[in-house]
Amino acid sequence: MKGLGHVVALCGGVGGAKLAFGLTKILPVDQLTIIVNTGDDFEHLGLHVSPDIDTVVYTLAGLSDRERGWGLAGETWGFMSALRRLGGDAWFNLGDHDLAMHVERTRRLTAGESLSAITGALARALGVTANIAPMSDDPVRTIVVTDDAELGFQRYFVGEQCRPVASAIRFQGAGEARLSEAARAALTRPDLEAVILCPSNPYLSIDPILAVPGVREALARTDAAIVAVSPIIGGEALKGPAAKLMRELGAEPGVLAVADHYRGLIGALVIDDADAADAAALAARGVVPLVTGSVMITDADRARLAAETLELARTLRK
Ligand code: FO1
């Protein structure tokens, strides 16, 4: 799709990565920058694990396991069974081939390379040419505050399977984190035409990106269209705890809560046919609704939703 200026996609894990994949199919590589959440990153078994970056890289490379959404298709788990036999810390699954990503990233970080440089090198090694920018090269860690504990994101998401009741979410280190160079450059380009908030968890995947100093300011300053794709369909998330978190944080899960969460930021929201009844209420909130099939099963779905979202952004800018 020619004619558009630069497009920035803010993206988290599985759902966001699918739309990012769709965008890479319809935009020339130099017209798209994918800014990825790093709030899910953590140190595990001495390795630096960057789940959302890896989910985007593997998805764009066509290597991801489409059933799980994360990790590699055709993965084997010999390392995990050997680790369990040793009584090791086996609550977080590291596949044998996925392990190479964590080992190589950790080696490069230890050698002093930035997360951005490492992400580019490893993505290119897997044949991915898209511009993938970690939101920051400084540590930002999503913390889920529950009644009796503060849980690191993976402990909450994987260790506790999102069961604890959340009372707040905070992003440790966000205040001091510097926007990555590629993210800053993309968000401040004069030819920026569209910023797309991908269908990732607003609280856990998009908010950490918005919490990095400079992001909200850049979005306020740009005349680019800012469009979100709802990760909530029919009051539920296709994957993950977004709807549960909405309830726990005091919102009624639905597309209106997504619009309210992004109030003042987005000019339009892409919602699924299942939520067509909410279109008028969105418009009444000053958010232009686009009602379409927003479930991405096939690669064609991903490209179609990406094209519809970009078309909506272009219409908004007219
Ligand atoms: N999610 C799980 O539910 N269980 C796991 O054991 C698990 C391991 C894992 C390893 C590498 C990786 O890149 C992602 C992994 N995920 C796992 C998914 C991950 O927790 C989430 O995808 C993101 O952090 C949130 O989108």
Hunting for tokens 């080696």 — which residue is that? 107
The reported pLDDT for the residue numbered 317 is 83
Indicate if the pLDDT at residue 1 is higher than 70: no
Say how many Å lie between the CA of residue 158 and the centre of ligand 1.
7
For the chain, which domains are there? 6-317 (3.40.50.10680)
The reported pLDDT for the residue numbered 233 is 96
Residues 140-168: what's their mean pLDDT? 96
The reported pLDDT for the residue numbered 215 is 98
Say how many Å lie between the CA of residue 70 and the centre of ligand 1.
6
Q: Is 52 within 8 Å of 154 (Cβ atoms)?
A: no
The reported pLDDT for the residue numbered 308 is 98
The reported pLDDT for the residue numbered 239 is 86
The reported pLDDT for the residue numbered 9 is 98
Indicate if the pLDDT at residue 223 is higher than 70: yes
pLDDT-derived band at 2, boundaries 50, 70, 90: low
pLDDT over 70 for what percent of the chain?
Answer: 99
For atom 8 of ligand 1, the residue with the nearest CA is 93
Residues 237-264: what's their mean pLDDT? 94
Q: Is 207 within 8 Å of 171 (Cβ atoms)?
A: yes
Please state the atom number of ligand 1 nearest to the C-alpha of residue 95.
Answer: 10
For atom 26 of ligand 1, the residue with the nearest CA is 13
Indicate if the pLDDT at residue 3 is higher than 70: no
Q: Which of 42, 64, 93 to mutate to test the pocket of ligand 1 (most atoms within 8 A of CB)?
A: 93
The reported pLDDT for the residue numbered 318 is 74
Read off the tokens for 174: 């966000």
DSSP 133: E
Say how many Å lie between the CA of residue 75 and the centre of ligand 1.
14
Pocket of ligand 1 (CB under 6 A): 12-14, 40, 49, 51-52, 54-55, 70-71, 92-94, 98, 154, 157-158
Indicate if the pLDDT at residue 88 is higher than 80: yes
Say how many Å lie between the CA of residue 51 and the centre of ligand 1.
6
Please state the atom number of ligand 1 nearest to the C-alpha of residue 13.
Answer: 26
Indicate if the pLDDT at residue 55 is higher than 90: yes
Q: What is the rounded distance in angstroms from the CA atom of residue 314 to the CA atom of residue 162?
A: 37
Which residues, in sequence order, are CB contacts of 266 under 8 Å at separation 6+?
Answer: 197, 226, 227, 228, 259, 287
Q: How high does pLDDT run on average in the chain?
A: 96
Indicate if the pLDDT at residue 202 is higher than 80: yes
Residues 18-28: what's their mean pLDDT? 98
- Encode pLDDT of 117-127 as tens digits: 999 999 999 99
Please state the atom number of ligand 1 nearest to the C-alpha of residue 91.
Answer: 6
Indicate if the pLDDT at residue 4 is higher than 80: no
Range in 198-212, 236-250, 289-303 the model is least confident about: 236-250
pLDDT over 90 for what percent of the chain?
Answer: 96
Residues 276-282: what's their mean pLDDT? 98
Q: What is the rounded distance in angstroms from the CA atom of residue 237 to the CA atom of residue 233?
A: 6
Say how many Å lie between the CA of residue 19 and the centre of ligand 1.
18
Q: Is 145 within 8 Å of 168 (Cβ atoms)?
A: yes
Residues 198-224: what's their mean pLDDT? 97
The secondary structure of 242-263 as a DSSP string is HHHHHHHTT--SSHHHHHHHTT
Q: What is the rounded distance in angstroms from the CA atom of residue 310 to the CA atom of residue 149?
A: 41
